[in-house]
Amino acid sequence: MIHISDIKKFNRCQKLYLLSKQNRELSNYFSFFNVTVSIEESIMKKLGISSAFMGVKNDPCARALNAMETEEWLVNARFEYEQLRIKVPFMHKVSEGWDLYFSCLLTNPVADDAATYAFYVTVLKRLGIIVHEVYLVHLNKDYIREEKLDDQQLWVVTNFFYNHNGNPSKHILTTIYGITTNMDEILEQMKEFDFDIDLPMEKTSKCTRRNKCAFYDECFPYVETEPDDSILHLSTSKNKFEMYQEGILRLQDVDLERIEGTRMQFAQIMAARNGGFFFDRLALKDWFSSIASQPAIFLDFEWDTYCIPPYHSMRPLQTLPFQYSIHILDGDTVEHKEYIGVGDCREDLLKHLQEDLPTKGNIFAYNAKGAEVLRLQELSMAFPAYAVTIQSWIDRMEDLSIPFEMGLVYDIRMRGMFSLKALNRMIHPEHTYQQLKVSHGLEAVQLHRALSTETDLDKVAEYRKALFEYCAMDTSELLAVYQWLQQKVEGN
């Protein structure tokens, strides 16, 4: 049996399709979005569906076809054509045929997925079903929840894709009919696919497009074993694999005519040519002197992202901070403070932040404007009584990723990355995140969701300890990065 997800993998990369079939354990699904209500039931309320045929898993195609004779609405109807099995979320009978409704957990659906919807329409067409219109039911970017969830205001129904400015631009069904993909040809190729074939490993842009492929490390394990000055660590380079295949293996030997010329690339090449380290001493000193403070405060949030807003003053796809860690460096003294909450802990978190954050000194975060500042701005909108205090914190925020992002400093041990975890491996190779029970953000989110429903007190204590250790690691590493930069500026 073939599903739409199989076709998407096959079209992206036949090796991905092969490995996904051989590695079923990678299909364990963890939703990035925290969904606290039934999306299906909410959309049914939006569409005014009170009575409908309800499809179930493993339904034969005949069941949905029979239901079309008597039912006005079909929900999760299964159909099959040439071993391709589809599930249509919502179908509505109209005088001209059937209208299709697809749920879209975005606020601005663009035409990127038009080819996927085209497979649904083509299957139904092959079965003799007339598709009159195709709609997307997407989240309303302007909706702000009050005490109760308003399903009517939460969703927007449209038969247009939007442009990147958020305006309707392309009629969905017209776009679908303009797609030239030959479904029958693809299905035939998939049926004849040899699962015993040894496909070559060829890296293309598809390997990292949108999201890095789950099998990237399996396909290209040699990237991790390459030396620190390998050309494969060249940042944002579309030609590095091509040069590598030609025998240009080291950063110091890169073909300067085939690089993009970013500041980060310059720093990498200069570091490789100068003993493994490069920094723009004057620029780094100027930047650091402008942000150095006493006390120096290091802040990190952990948060969960909710598809449908569960609490008042929240928008669709908004985050809710549930934890923070703070390290405070004052002279030679380091103090640590921390917090974890469950449920709607936003105001409680703010109250604790007021107590824990010193009233003076810069507040350092990593990717501050893309993370901590945004979280604080969202909290300010939800709790206007704290707006002045929150703005004072934002005014004191500084981003420790700037010197790395701008190529002011680079050590080849960073291996082309400047995330906090990459810097941790360089500064503290003896103490890495992998030694913790929680080693990255999604694991923290997953454990916090478990904590929110756990009643066993021993497990609650265990979960809290693991979460505290992880978040504290982030701010302790922020402190380490700050001190490392300070040493470089001072010439140590």
State pLDDT tens for residues 470-479: 999 999 999 9
Residue 209: pLDDT band (50, 70, 90) is low
Between these two residues, 440 and 322, which has the higher pLDDT value? Answer: 322
For residue 13, pLDDT beyond 90:
no
In the predicted model, what is the mean pLDDT of residues 383-407?
Answer: 97
Positive or negative torsion for Cα 469, 475, 480, 484: positive
For residue 210, pLDDT beyond 70:
no
Report the range of poorest mean pLDDT among 8-12, 184-188, 203-207, 340-344: 203-207
Between these two residues, 409 and 432, which has the higher pLDDT value? Answer: 409
- The two three-digit tokens of residue 333, written as one number: 């003294």
Residues 155, 140 contacting (CB under 8 angstroms): yes
Residue 229 has a pLDDT of 96
Q: Kindly state the percentage of the chain with pLDDT values over 90.
A: 79
Strands 318-330 and 296-306: antiparallel
Alpha helices in 307-419 (DSSP H): 346-356, 372-382, 387-395, 402-405
Alpha helices in 198-305 (DSSP H): 216-219, 222-225, 240-245, 263-273, 281-291
Supply the mean pLDDT for the chain: 93
Cβ atoms within 10 Å, residue 157: 12
> Phi, psi (5° rounding) for residue 407?
70, 25
Residue 31: pLDDT band (50, 70, 90) is confident
Per residue in 138-163, pLDDT tens? Answer: 999 999 999 999 999 999 999 999 99
CA–centroid distance for 172 within its chain: 26
Report the range of poorest mean pLDDT among 206-215, 388-397, 445-454: 206-215
Residue 19 has a pLDDT of 84
